[in-house]
Structure 1
Amino acid sequence: MLDVADVRAARERVAETARRTPLEYSHTFSERTGAEVYLKLENFQRTGSFKIRGATNRIATLSPAEQEAGVVTASAGNHAQGVALAATRIGVDATVVMPEHAPISKLKATRTYGAEVVLHGADYEAAAERAHEIEREEGRVYVHAFDDEAVMAGQGTIGLEILDERPDVDVVLVPIGGGGLISGIATAIKARRPEARVIGVQAEGAASAADSLRKGSISEWEHVDTIADGIAVGRVGDLTFEVIRERVDEVVTVSDSEIATALTALLERSKTLVEGAGAVPLAALLSDAFEYEEGETVVPALCGGNIDLNTLTTVVMRGLVETGRYLKIRTVLEDRPGALRRLIDVLAENRANIYAIQHDRTSRDIAMNAAEVVIDLETRGPGHVEGLVGDLRERGYEVEILV
């Protein structure tokens, strides 16, 4: 099984390519939770993700013959970029197979770092099958995204950095997809501070590790569904599962709504952009997904910041809805002069800001003498939304909340 000596040995190799990322105290999230919260900002890492650490360590340990043969891997995006950059830096040819619907930003970045990209399949598992075919056909070395001890050791250097700055850490929160990141971090943390808790966090729609721990054996999910595409993996690794079972204290899950809320909070309060997988640890803290004592030192590992801009728009809007900052309603008015103005006056009295209005007199779903109105509103929180909708209904408007 992976040993802390492997992580320590990886540290020097990883330092050649990867950055030492900041560990920043968050006044906002400390006040909100009662814990002493330090954010491990791995989203500031080269390639925008922790994956460069494991890829660098694995490729650095290749023999000369293996380097000559080249490498191949499969990835939804972050591991792809890590392998591409790590291979390019030492002159190793790299082919990366990505799912057909991989985020465009990650696809372009992987090519920019020097790898040949092959698009195949709907998910990571399908991409991995094609990558193994290329491995056999071309004699390349397969660099696994997580189920490889050299990769796990490289990721574990994050744990060493956390301990260097916060040797008194009580809880480390780590996202889990295939399990490579948490295996490395847990190995590093437990070796130097065994009393610290390492808690894994998964999205509810891709919770194979949590499911596997409950069952006592690896559970494979045929379908995963989450906005956290970086951890949208249907099966935890064989090697990583053994490390998780021995060294991880607990694995919890969070919903996509909770992930969106955490991502939005990081943007607004910490001015920090993360992808869905990067927001997962903070989502667990903000949603009370696990128990902790007031004043404990808690470190959420924000593992990456490579979010597609189209996805970001959707996730931020979801976060605003969840926090009562955005509201979309539908109502029906009598088709008479002044009816829309009176509705707008009610909204103004309640200090709701209008983003957009759609006024339709031709809908077949309403009476001939009526008009359907759909309004997008900026609101100030759940209490404001409740008061606004209540006032509208008291004044006789039949209000349907659309978002």
Structure 2
Amino acid sequence: MRHVQKPTASDMDRARVAVRQHLATTPLLPISRYEWLKLDSQQPSGAFKVRGAIAALSRLPRGTNVVTASAGNHGIGVAWAADTLGHRATIVVPENASPRKLAVLEEMGASVIRHGTTFDEAEAHAVMLAESGLTYVSAYNDPHVIAGQATVLDELADRIEGNFTIFVPVGGGGLAAGMAIRADMIKDRAIRVIGVETESSLAVSTAMRAGKTVEIEIAPSLADGLAGNLEGGAITAEILRERGVEMISVSEKQIEAAIRTLYLRHDLRAEGAAAVSFAAMKAYPVDGDMVAIISGRNIDEKLLKDIVGKR
């Protein structure tokens, strides 16, 4: 089991500088008087994960060989950051990874290794490769990655006045953990973070209740980017539990409907892992301003057409 430290205030500050240096602020789209969509799907990698990758890789000497495991978007983020910062990236993906995401990885020049049938197996293989001298960058269990993801909240706080609630997709919990830490650091108003899982993969909420990581059964999901168990001793669930972050879940039917609505009504391409936040905001609204993080657009073209075509 790896022992990982939680992000410090210094980590958060350095991540903010690195992200601002390399990434533009993503759009914040109002869709009603109290509802907003934060379009991190408009990142150059197609997903928010590039924030954490930039934050983590910017701390490494140029030319470092990095390795990670990814269901897609974290790998794309690491590949993009490695290319931008002068590193070399190896990405381990499960055999069933999205063809669209694999194509993007290969276009970015990353070395891609297909291993195992699940994210858990791919992750274990990446950790093993790191023992041979590569630098492992976890998709979520890394203080610098978590600090990088927190920069989403900085951009929201610059745009929305007063108190607001954020619906955040949760797989490994890095985005929600980072935003929860940053929300606690903003003292002049109340910013509430609500984590949203797919019912098919409840690893983080299970760990929060148990007080430790617990291996659970993972079912197939449209939100494949959120599917998988947590690395043993992962710090994300502990961060969320300490800060009293509320966790909710949405069904496959709700995710499908959210993908369809985002495309047809708002002209937005969203993968299942991104659509969970919109589904939750619509199903479980709260008082005041609400933001759904649309975290990625890297959905398979055929899958999108099939979902949009259903009535």
TM-score range, shorter chain: over 0.9
Q: Distance in 2 between the 1:133 and 1:214 partners?
A: 29
Is the CA contact (8 Å cut-off) linking 1:231 and 1:277 kept in structure 2?
A: yes
Provide the aligned length of Structure 1 versus Structure 2. Answer: 304
Is the CA contact (8 Å cut-off) linking 1:169 and 1:298 kept in structure 2?
A: no
Q: TM-score, normalised by structure 2?
A: 0.92
Aligned to 2:55: 57
Which of 45, 48, 51 is equivalent to 2:46?
Answer: 48
Q: Distance in 1 between the 2:177 and 2:246 partners?
A: 13
Q: Distance in 1 between the 2:114 and 2:143 partners?
A: 27
Q: Is 1:298–2:290 an aligned residue pair?
A: yes
Q: Is 1:239–2:235 an aligned residue pair?
A: yes
Q: Is 1:86–2:91 an aligned residue pair?
A: no
Cα 1:169/1:45, change in 2 over 3 Å: farther
Cα root mean square deviation, aligned: 1.7
Instruction: Return 5+ residue gaps in structure 2 as ranges.
Output: 1-5
Aligned to 1:261: 257
Q: What secondary structure is seen at the aligned counterpart in 1 of 2:14?
A: helix
Q: Distance in 2 between the 1:168 and 1:233 partners?
A: 35
Q: Is 1:136–2:131 an aligned residue pair?
A: yes
- Structure 2 counterparts to residues 246-395 of structure 1, below 5 A: 246-288=242-284, 292-293=286-287, 296-317=288-309, 320=310, 325=311
Is the CA contact (8 Å cut-off) linking 2:14 and 2:55 kept in structure 1?
A: no
Q: What secondary structure is seen at the aligned counterpart in 1 of 2:150?
A: helix
Q: Distance in 2 between the 1:133 and 1:181 partners?
A: 25
- Per the TM alignment, residue 37 of structure 1 is displaced from its structure 2 partner at its CA by 0.5
Q: TM-score, normalised by structure 1?
A: 0.72
Instruction: Return 5+ residue gaps in structure 1 as ranges.
Output: 31-35, 326-403
Q: Distance in 1 between the 2:264 and 2:146 partners?
A: 33
Q: Is 1:10–2:5 an aligned residue pair?
A: no
Deviations 1:182-204 (A, max 9, x none): 11111112211562211000000
Deviations 1:183-228 (A, max 9, x none): 1111112211562211000000001112222333322224332110
* Percent identity between the two aligned chains: 37
Is the CA contact (8 Å cut-off) linking 2:260 and 2:308 kept in structure 1?
A: yes
Cα 1:230/1:169, change in 2 over 3 Å: farther
Aligned to 1:33: none
Q: Distance in 1 between the 2:269 and 2:29 partners?
A: 14
Q: Distance in 2 between the 1:45 and 1:248 partners?
A: 29
* Residue identity matched to 1:94: A
Aligned to 2:72: 77
Q: What secondary structure is seen at the aligned counterpart in 1 of 2:200?
A: helix
Give 1 or 2 for the bigger CA radius of gyration. Answer: 1
Displaced runs of 4 or more, over 6 A: none
Q: What secondary structure is seen at the aligned counterpart in 2 of 1:46?
A: coil
- Per the TM alignment, residue 252 of structure 1 is displaced from its structure 2 partner at its CA by 0.2
Aligned to 1:356: none
Aligned to 1:115: 110
Q: Distance in 2 between the 1:306 and 1:265 partners?
A: 17
* Residue identity matched to 1:177: G
Cα 1:169/1:111, change in 2 over 3 Å: farther
Q: Is 1:164–2:158 an aligned residue pair?
A: yes
